Structure formats: structure tokens, C-alpha cells
Structure 1
Amino acid sequence: MQSKLNPKTTEFEFGGTIGAIGISVGLPILTILLNQMIRPDYFIEGFFTNFNFADVWNGIKPISYYLTKADLWTYYLIWYIVLAVFDIILPGRKMQGVELRDGTKLNYKINGVAVSAALILVLAFRYQLTDGDLPELQYLYENQVDLCIITILFSVMLSTYCYVASFIPLWGKNGNNTNEKILALGGNSGNPIYDWFIGRELNPRIGPIDLKMYSELRPGMLLWFLINLSCLHHNYLETAKINDALVLINCLQGFYIFDGVLNEEGVLTMMDITTDGFGFMLAFGDLTLVPFTYSLQARYLSVSPIELGTYRVSFIVTVMALGFWVFRAANQQKSDFRQGKLAHLKSIQTKRGTKLLCDGWWGKSQHMNYFGDWIISLSWCLTTWTQTPLTYYYSAYFMSLLLHRQQRDEQKCRGKYGKDWEEYEKKVPYKIVPYVY
């Protein structure tokens, strides 16, 4: 479709179709391998010396097995659908997203507090009912790799549904076509593989559920929390001891997860929501990559536990606190500035009528919040200390993700602000890390 509202995509990311295919195949395989390498029945102690691809891949069944494994599909679909029902029926406040290209704004229900409370209450109820055994957590722990593959297949199906549905026009009450769907500027190339990967429709919805925002904040994020908890639960059942490293990673990541869920309104202005379509890239990232790779530290510590001790725990908590302070303070400063609360801070008045903040945190680097977020990721990896490079995958991956986002944002801002952006870059030359990059 080509129109003033939905111009044809002419610039491709990730290497175009070839890159989209490579990522769609390569990242799921990498995710499975990472989980296989630290599964309880096959743990690589000497990562660099003992790695064997054939041995690591051993135990992965044919695709037909996963397509027909009723119990895995039942559990995952219940998880995805029940959280969606919670999202619909639990109370929350109404908010509008950013203005879309047609001048409209979408409505969102912000009820992360209610959804989180409901999940905690269900867990507490099951804990009491099972005398602390929690068989659901043990099932999750024992079937983590299989569930990881199920989420990959589900992501393929969900993104295929969204791609097909993007061609179905919006219909009015009288059966007349009233509105053109808003497509992502980057996902309307006409190439089905690339558009399926990037996401063709900007905000696909099923009834009141915005699939993109829901998938970003609910099933993946909260499953990450449960996987971590299952690792702590399993270790306690096996050893009858509380491991400080496992407790620490559960607390640090649990705090981050629920901070994101409880402050979900911040997502409404993120690039994922405002710019990107909802295709396989985001579906896989939200539903598979987040829960099944961000939990690698807890998974590792459940099969190779270490005791950190007071000094190392204190150091890691300090690193996490530093990262969170930078991340939260930078974001809060930008939010306050946009609301006109910090008029004294230096800024550049653009020809578009908006201002570019170049003072405070935002005078140190163009994406100071990214730097804080990366420090947080490093603190999580430090919970495994120096035992393995495997768990440091997350920090390396996250840095590459932030670099890519920074480059995308820079390209967008250059086109949007022109010479004003050039002036901004002179005042704030560092991209993410002050005095380094």
C-alpha cells in the first residue's frame, strides 16, 4: 500500500531481506544453544575447551514434536491469554499514546500494579496450597528449553497473524471502509519477508489489547521473573540452602522487572511503540529473547552455585544502584524538561518548534539513560563473578542493541532537525558513554 499516510519503505535495516532471514534463523538458534549449554543434564564447565556443537544440540527434538506437544502449548497459551484477560479486566488508569500520523491518539490502560499484584497473589496462594512445593515452578525449570522453542514458534505464528491482518482494512459499523490502517514507516516495503520481520502494522490490536505493548510488558517480562524464581526454588529443593548469588540475581532483576511493569507509561514514548511495527523482530525479542536469555545468570547459578559473600554482594548492589540512579535520573530529567519544569536548563530551540536538551545529564551524552541501563546489565552478569564468560552474553548483547538504537535515533534526528541537530552534536559530542563514545 502506498499513500500519503503510509508511504512506501525505501530504506532497509539489518541488511534487508538477507539480514532479516539471517536474524530470524540465527537468533532463535543462538537462544536455544545458550539454554542448552547450561541445562542441568548437560552443563559445560570449561566453556572454551569442552564446547562441542553436536553434544550441545543433543536432546533437541524434531519440529513436529514441538508443534504437537499439547501440554507445553496448553501451559504457554494459558499464560499468554490469562495475562491478557488480567490486562482487560483489572482496574487501571486510561492514558493516550503519542499522536499518530493521522492526528489520532490510541488509548491505553495502565494497570501494571494490578496485574503484578494479581500474579503475586496467585503465587502466594499456590505456595500455601502446595506447602511451598510449587510444582508449576519445577515444571518450568525442567522444561525451560522446550518452552523456549514453543515461544519461538508462537512468535512466528503471532507475527504472521499480524502481517496478514495488516492487509485487512478497518471497517465502520455500516460495513464501509472508514480508515486506512497506520503502517510502520520502516515496514511497508512490499517485500513480504522483510515486512514480516520488521512489522508492517504500527499498532496491531485484538479488541482492547494492543499486541505490541502487551507483549513487551506482560508475558515475556513476567516469565523472566518466574524463570529466575524457578531457579531459586529448584536450588533450594536440591540443597535445602539459600544461595546468596541466586537470591541476589532474583532481587536485582525482580526489582528491574517490576519497576518496568509498574512504570509502564514510560513505554508509550519509546521507539518500539512509536516507530517500529510489530513483526517477528519484536515478537521474538519480547516473548523469547527476554525471558530465555536475560535469565541466563539465574540458570547458570542453579547448576553451578557460588557463594559471593558480603563484600562482593555489596559491590554488585552498588554497581546496580549506580546504573539505576543514572538511568532513572536521566529519564526523569528529560520528562520534567518536556513538561516545562526545568526551563533553566540549556537547550537548542529548533525550527520545528521543539527544544533539544543539552544540559544536566543530557549535556554529558546524547543517550545518558542508555549508559545507566548498560551499567545495570553489567551488575547482573557480575553475580556469576568470573566463573564463566557465558553469562556475560547479556551485557555484550545489550551494548550492541543500545548502539543500534542510538544509530537509528541519530539517523532519524538528522532528518528531522537538520542543521539544529548538527549544532546539538557540537554541544553534546558523546553518543552514550561520556568522554569515551
Structure 2
Amino acid sequence: MTTGHSEPAHDKTRPDQFGGPWGALLLTIVMPTVTFYLWSAVAQHGGSLWLPRSTTELSAMIPAPTWEAAAMFAAWLGLQALLYVVVPAKVVHGRPAAGGERAEYRLNGLVAFGLTAGLLVLGIAADVVSPTAVLAQLGPLLTISVLFAVGAAALTYVAGRRRAHLERSTGNVVYDFYMGAIQNPRIGRHDLKFFFESRIGMGTWGAFAILMPAAELQQHGELSTAMLVVSLCQLFYIFEFFVFESALLSTIDIIEENLGFMLWFAFLAWMPFNFTLQQQYVLEARPELPTLAAAAIIVMNFAGYYVFRSSNLQKTRFRSDPTRPIWGEIPVAMDTARGTKLLLSGWWGLARHANYLGDLTMALAWCLACGVGSVVPYFYFIYFAPLLLNRERRDHAMCQRKYGADWDRYCEKVPYRIIPFVY
């Protein structure tokens, strides 16, 4: 296992994110606990919040692994790894490592996801794959995913400590286990962080988003309006992610974060299991969704998508062609002492992270499709809003360190963080 980090050496950094070591320890415990609790709320308690009344009920919240689930998990990892390697791809390279090598990124996610979805749909249509039988293993699959995340985090922590002079870490065991002690671990030339976020995190989410409406059809003979709306919106989001897969390479996850328990758990468990809570809830509770409400939610979702995608494209296109018009006008940008420019046009002249507003709008739309019978399917929005608020704050601090006084001047020109004229 090697690393794709570009710096020849790193001083220890301060353990100051998420409340430091104590916060990291708390999150290492809370993240799996919340995920198991939410699975139990839907699978064992009809989609309602619940309080354990006995140790037996509490222990039942963590389903035992099964050999069937283990076989599914291994086969899924193997299939995605195979598709990543063998499907023709546009190959791009990351930043050079200390030894001069560069990580290789194979951008074939759209074709790989299309093949995966096609195989899954064909398997369901031919009665080779039973959606209900697969989802009956959802609990054991969650437990296996959590165990894999813990083991993978331990391995990457050890790998990072062996290269401590090259990696950005703090030296605190608990904090570095959670946040990571290595930035871009690789197998050969392939970046594990990119593969697990793209093909396992997003890919597994996509597979569940296909299996759940298929299970409703299998069990009830029809699709509910709520399931149709949520599945349409989520599958479009996932499809669109793979269309713009290269954008992942410029995200904080890839270029800034280390790979520790936080990201391992996010890719393996948090994303595929918690991000499908709406569909899990609809499959269990089957809430009614009036046609007019469904239409309004779809409009809301795609309005959010427009803000999200158009704002990201504005910045991406500005980087490659600073003269390309934005909203019909030549872009305005602010020069910095670093020699780079900060965009002041389009969405980026209205708010420093209007793309987060689009993301939050889509998240709320998915939740609204589930009605108001339970708070459980709203978890995605309840969690996502503070996450993006925190990420914006972290990005702000990073840009202050990077640009200094230039960033302060930029913030004076663009005072709103996420919601134009509000926040």
C-alpha cells in the first residue's frame, strides 16, 4: 500500500477538527450506533423512533452477520473492482507522491454503474435475483460493512504511521484512527479513497435504490407514488454523479481529507444505508403521496439540482476558460497574491457555497416525499444540513490560511455563505 500525497514531508498537524481526540472517539462510537439504530427503527419498529426497554432489545439492534450476507458483500466488492479495472476508461493521474509516482484514476464509473444496474435489472426480471431476499440481508450486510470499515481503518492507520514522516497526521492514536493517518493510500496505482467513495459508496447506494422499488413491486404488485418519486430523484442524482465523476477529484474528500474511519465508514455504511432511509421507510410504511404534492416535490428536487450542478459547472469552466460567459456576461474575478483568481460571477457572486444550497434542497425534497408520519426518513436532511454548515466553515478556515488578506477581501465582496441574502 502506497500513498499518492504530493508533499515530500509533513509536520504534525493539530488535532483540532470535530472536537479533537475526544470528539473523534465520540464520533467513532456514535456513527455506527446511529446507523444501527436507524436500521432498527425501520426494520424492527415500523419506521418509528424507539427507546430500548431491555438489553435484549438493545442487542437486537445489531444484527448478526450471515454467511449469505458475507458472500453478497464479497461478490459486490469483487464485481466493482473488476469493472473498475477492465471497463475501458479515461485515465487521469493525481498529484505525484514523494517517490514521484502518481495515483491513477480510471473514470469509467458511468459505464460500470450502467453495467451493474443492467445486470441487476436483468437478474430481477429473470427471477435470478430476489429483491426481497437481498433486502432481508440488509441488517447483516450493515454489520459486515461496519466491521470491514473498522478493519480497513486500522490497516490504513498502520500504513500511515509507517510513513509518518511523509503523511499529515497528529500523532494522537484516537484522532488519527478517526481522521486518518494517510491521505491517498493505493493498491498499485489505484487510489483506494476514490474507488471506495465512487464505486462502493455511490454504487451501493445506487444498487439499493434499484432493489427497493423492485421489492415493493414484488411484494405489493405496484409502485407507490412516494417510492416512485424518491427512487426517480435518487437514481437521477447517482446517475448524474457518474456523468460528472471527474469532479470528485477536486473535492475536499480526495484532495484534503486523510482516509480514516470517518471516510471508511461513510463510504461503506453511512452512504448506502442511511441515504436510502427514505426508500426503506416507504417500503415498510407505504405512506400516501398526493399527485400534486409529488409534482411539487419533483420540481423542488430538480430546481435544487439546477443550482447544485450549474454552480459547480461555473467554477469548473472558469478554471479551464476564464473568458467563458457566465449568465451571458464575461466573468468577474478577484486576483490574489498566490496568482490564482477567486470567481465573483454567477452563483459565486451571490454566495460562497450556493452549490450547498442546491444539495440541501434536493435532500429536503427526498424527505418530503415520505410525508410527515415519522421523523426517521428526515434523518438525511437533519444530518446533511449541519454537515454542510460544518464543511463550509472548514473550507472557510482553509481558504483563510491559503489566501490570507485576499480571502478577507473576497468575503467582503461575497458576504453570504450558502443562502444568498440570508446566510
TM-score between both structures, scaled by the size of structure 1: 0.88
Question: In the aligned structure 1, how far is the partner of 2:272 from the partner of 2:337?
Answer: 43
Question: In the aligned structure 2, how far is the partner of 1:310 from the partner of 1:303?
Answer: 20
Aligned alpha-carbon RMSD (Å): 2.3
Contact 2:80 2:199 in 1 (8 A): yes
Contact 2:104 2:190 in 1 (8 A): no
Please show how residues 214-225 of structure 1 align to structure 2 within 5 Å.
214-225=195-206
Task: Say yes or no: does 1:373 pair with 2:359.
Answer: yes
Please show how residues 203-352 of structure 1 align to structure 2 within 5 Å.
203-342=184-323, 344-352=330-338
Contact 2:196 2:268 in 1 (8 A): yes
Task: Say yes or no: does 1:386 pair with 2:380.
Answer: no
Question: In the aligned structure 2, how far is the partner of 1:380 from the partner of 1:44?
Answer: 16
| 2:149 match | 155
Aligned residues: 412
Please show how residues 28-427 of structure 1 align to structure 2 within 5 Å.
28-39=32-43, 41-44=44-47, 47=49, 51-54=50-53, 58=57, 60=59, 65-66=64-65, 69-98=66-95, 105-130=102-127, 134-135=129-130, 137-168=131-162, 182-183=166-167, 185=168, 188-342=169-323, 344-427=330-413
Whichever residue aligns with residue 395 of structure 2, its letter is D
C-alpha spacing 1:181/1:201, structure 2 compared with 1 (3 Å) = farther
Whichever residue aligns with residue 171 of structure 2, its letter is G
Instruction: Report the CA distance between 1:97 and its aligned residue.
Output: 2.9
Query: Which structure carries more relative contact order (alpha carbon 8 Å, separation 6+)?
Result: 2
Question: In the aligned structure 2, how far is the partner of 1:367 from the partner of 1:4?
Answer: 32
Instruction: Report the CA distance between 1:403 and its aligned residue.
Output: 0.9
Question: In the aligned structure 1, how far is the partner of 2:133 from the partner of 2:302?
Answer: 33
5+ residue gaps, structure 1? 170-179
Question: In the aligned structure 2, how far is the partner of 1:90 from the partner of 1:374?
Answer: 33
| 1:434 match | 420
C-alpha spacing 1:423/1:248, structure 2 compared with 1 (3 Å) = same
Deviations 1:106-152 (A, max 9, x none): 3211001221122023123313432xx732x2233112122112111
Q: Which secondary structure does the structure 1 equivalent of 2:369 belong to?
A: helix
5+ residue gaps, structure 2? 1-6, 325-329
| 1:25 match | 29
Question: In the aligned structure 1, how far is the partner of 2:397 from the partner of 2:301?
Answer: 31
Deviations 1:204-259 (A, max 9, x none): 01124311011111112222222233322222222212211111111110110121
Whichever residue aligns with residue 76 of structure 1, its letter is F
Q: Which secondary structure does the structure 1 equivalent of 2:331 belong to?
A: coil
TM-score between both structures, scaled by the size of structure 2: 0.91
Contact 2:400 2:407 in 1 (8 A): yes
339-348 vs 383-392, greater mean Cα deviation: 339-348
Whichever residue aligns with residue 80 of structure 2, its letter is L
Contact 2:47 2:376 in 1 (8 A): no
274-283 vs 113-122, greater mean Cα deviation: 113-122
Question: In the aligned structure 2, how far is the partner of 1:423 from the partner of 1:335?
Answer: 22
C-alpha spacing 1:314/1:101, structure 2 compared with 1 (3 Å) = farther
Contact 2:8 2:166 in 1 (8 A): no
Instruction: Report the CA distance between 1:182 and its aligned residue.
Output: 4.7
| 1:13 match | 17
Contact 2:132 2:218 in 1 (8 A): no
Question: In the aligned structure 2, how far is the partner of 1:63 from the partner of 1:235?
Answer: 25
Contact 1:182 1:202 in 2 (8 A): no
C-alpha spacing 1:209/1:99, structure 2 compared with 1 (3 Å) = closer
Q: Which secondary structure does the structure 2 equivalent of 1:54 belong to?
A: coil
Instruction: Report the CA distance between 1:427 and its aligned residue.
Output: 0.3
Question: In the aligned structure 1, how far is the partner of 2:102 from the partner of 2:25?
Answer: 33
C-alpha spacing 1:57/1:230, structure 2 compared with 1 (3 Å) = farther
Q: Which secondary structure does the structure 1 equivalent of 2:416 belong to?
A: coil
Instruction: Report the CA distance between 1:59 and its aligned residue.
Output: 7.3
C-alpha spacing 1:290/1:57, structure 2 compared with 1 (3 Å) = farther
